[in-house]
Amino acid sequence: LASDLNSKQMAGGRVAHATLKGPSVVKEIFIGLTLGLIAGGMWKMHHWNEQRKTRSFYDMLDKGQISVVVEE
């Protein structure tokens, strides 16, 4: 009985399990570079948009279309 029970318990050790592999360094570098470039591009587009708004404001101010003085 004990040998029968022992053989049933050992059967679980022979089951094929998925092999866990570590992270691929090249893949991690590629993903990091891609995410970095996307984030950098979005930041640069935001910066260009803010520059455009500022330039537009000062152009309108120079042309007299707007004023920073409150009219009474």
- For residue range 40-54, what is the model confidence (pLDDT) as tens digits? 999 999 999 999 999
Mean pLDDT score, 44-71 = 94
- pLDDT at position 29: 96
Q: Which two tokens stand for residue 54?
A: 């500022």
Amino acid at 57: F
Tell me if residue 2 falls in helix, strand or coil.
helix
CB 25 within 8 A of CB 32: no
Better-scored residue on pLDDT, 11 or 23: 23
CA distance 52 to 7: 76
pLDDT at 27 over 80: yes
